[in-house]
Amino acid sequence: MGWNSYNYYGCRPSEDIMVSNAQGLVDLGLADLGYTSVTTDCGWPSRDRDSEGRIQWNETLFPSGGPALGQFIHGLGLEFGLYSGAGYLQCGSTDLPASLGYEEIDAETFAEWGGDSLKYDNCYPVSNTTMVDYVSKESISPARFEKMAGVLDTIDRDMHYFVCQWGVGYDVGEWASAIGTTWRISNDIFNAWRSIWRIANEVVPYYRHTTVGAFPDMDMLIVGLKALSVEEERFHFGMWAINKSPLIIGARMDAQHTPQESLDILANEVVIAINQDPLGKQAELVRRYTEEEWDIWAGELSGSRKVLGIANWRNDSQTVEVDLSAVGVASAKARDVWAATDLGSIEEIHTVELSGHELKLLVLSDIKASRPLESKGYYSAANASIAGSAEITDCDSGDCLPVGQKIGNIGSGSTVTFSSVNASSAGSKVLGVDFINYDIALDTAWDNGFNIRNMTIAVNGGVSKRWAFPISGGDWFETGRLTIESDGFEKGAENEVVFGNVGDAWAPDLVGFELF
């Protein structure tokens, strides 16, 4: 938790900016709530290193020097955060040095300055002429970040390591969680609501790697930047909190510039406690209702509690019915976090009224567990009939679980048909759809890249229904599961379930589904 200069000031920090905002954290009471890390982002150094190769602070912007800034920040009881990059130059510049090739001397220098953390960015990985590169071997490799991690382990100072690699490449959660206190899972957040949808769809599979001391970074908060409505700011802050993302403020720490409503959101002690829960367990996407535009998220908290997030992606208000058995709960005491209201005991189907773009957060305690859903069979892609461009692929051992095969290239006009699906009764059923999607929004992050692939499902010739599948894992062979409800089943073994794409876009790869 802390503050970073980038979201408000870009790559134009200064001594005055850093001093006033560090002081603002204290004066606004946010430091007392845990916002203690203060980081000067891109734009701080001089163009030239000294004769010994040591990186230098820009004396015009920082006349007292970086070490003096660190002393001031430490004097406030805060942590001194530093910034560099794993490339030739810093992001947002054409001539400011980063740390590629200077890892040892820079790490020693950062320690001598009293640095408490290092945010390590990903620009100019191959040359000093191309700032952003998502495809080269050097860009997708973890080697540059692992090099600095190894060097930091040798210096005589403990420093948090914030890997800012943007989720480029493969198996990022696996390698980055092993070396970083935090690791960026996505391209930069954008000052618009659509960024929240994009990043939420990319964080989904990282629960596999999140633990105490290793947290997925959904990027800095845009709360207080007047880019979102108050309801959307609560949604944004809550979504970051339940997924155990760092809470790094990007707004100006001045009540005359940052709305009080936004400061109140940042200061909500219950949401902060969810984020900082000692178990360090990320929430999971439990159930999705794409056409209805809402999700159920849930995560384990200390004290045998759960946090339940009901996310309304719709612009308008709606009333939804939450089946608590979806999160393994038969009954529980519930507290509405944002309303600061005890709801008493809730059970079975809980009705929730949602405002447009509201994330309802409930903390559940005194939980009585529900009976687990009963599996009625698994249907492998290998046994489906395919049409159009769809084709089946054999995967290496350990990939495309649980069956080792997948159907890909599900494009325009393609279908994947499962026949002889056996349902014990008629009506709506729960399906656990095993899929693979690694269509990550990098160069499309500023436009319409949302980290989803859409797929339709139709039962027994009924109307096809669309589902938005998030990122599933670390590559095109790691399976994720989206749990949905689908109607139209008849009792018996003659049911037909047909999967297809939407429009001209590709569907996710399909491994199979389990019927409950």
Q: Do 293 and 438 fall within a single domain?
A: no
Question: Helix, strand, coil shares of the chain as percentages rounded to 5?
Answer: 20, 35, 45
**CATH code (residue 219):** 3.20.20.70
Q: Is 330 helix (H, G, I), strand (E, B) or coil?
A: strand
Mean pLDDT value of segment 110-134: 97
Among 341, 369, 397, where does a domain finish?
Answer: 369
Q: Do 224 and 119 fall within a single domain?
A: yes
Q: Residue 303, Cα to own-chain centre: how many angstroms?
A: 25
Q: Do 360 and 392 fall within a single domain?
A: no
With tokens 């020097």, the residue in question is 65
Q: Is the pTM of this model over 0.95?
A: yes
Mean pLDDT value of segment 206-224: 98
The answer on pLDDT for 106 being more than 90 is yes
Mean pLDDT value of segment 218-242: 98
Q: Do 251 and 394 fall within a single domain?
A: no
Q: Do 337 and 432 fall within a single domain?
A: no
The answer on pLDDT for 465 being more than 90 is yes
Question: Six-digit token pair at 242?
Answer: 């339940």
**Has 188 been annotated as catalytic?**
yes
Q: Do 245 and 345 fall within a single domain?
A: no
DSSP string, 190-228: -SSTHHHHHHHHHHGGGGGT-BTTBEEE---B-TTTTSS
Among 248, 276, 304, where does a domain finish?
Answer: 276
Which of 41, 116, 121, 295 is catalytic? The answer is 121
Q: Which domain holds residue 441?
A: 377-515
Which of 188, 323, 336, 475 is catalytic? The answer is 188
**CATH code (residue 348):** 2.60.40.1180
Buried b (16+ CB within 10 A) or exposed e, 177-198: bebbbbbbbbbbbbeebebbbb
Q: How far apart are CA 469 and CA 457, in angstroms?
A: 12
What's the mean per-residue pLDDT of the chain? 98
Q: Do 185 and 223 fall within a single domain?
A: yes
Per-residue pLDDT at 382? 87
Q: Do 49 and 88 fall within a single domain?
A: yes
What proportion of the chain, given as a percentage, has pLDDT over 70?
100
Mean pLDDT value of segment 202-230: 98
Asked if 259 and 244 touch (Cβ cutoff 8 Å), the reply is no
Q: Do 72 and 194 fall within a single domain?
A: yes
405, β-bridge pairs: 394
Q: Is 310 helix (H, G, I), strand (E, B) or coil?
A: strand
- CB atoms near residue 246 (< 10 Å): 22
Q: Do 272 and 290 fall within a single domain?
A: no
Question: Six-digit token pair at 223?
Answer: 């709360």
Per-residue pLDDT at 209? 98
Mean pLDDT value of segment 472-486: 98
Q: Residue 405, Cα to own-chain centre: how many angstroms?
A: 28
Q: Is 350 helix (H, G, I), strand (E, B) or coil?
A: strand
Q: Do 96 and 237 fall within a single domain?
A: yes
Per-residue pLDDT at 89? 98
Mean pLDDT value of segment 443-450: 94
- The tally of domains found in the chain comes to 3
**CATH code (residue 431):** 2.60.120.260
The answer on pLDDT for 339 being more than 90 is yes
Among 311, 335, 369, where does a domain finish?
Answer: 369
| pLDDT, tens only, 157-192 | 999 999 999 999 999 999 999 999 999 999 999 999
What is the side-by-side order of every strand in the sheet holding 453-459? 385-387, 415-423, 492-500, 453-459, 465-469
The answer on pLDDT for 51 being more than 90 is yes
Q: How many CA atoms lie within 13 A of 422 on its CB side?
A: 6
Q: How far apart are CA 361 and CA 239, in angstroms?
A: 9
Q: Do 387 and 428 fall within a single domain?
A: yes
At 188, the amino acid letter reads D
**Has 487 been annotated as catalytic?**
no
Residue 359's region, left for phi above 0, alpha for psi from -120 to 50, else beta, is beta
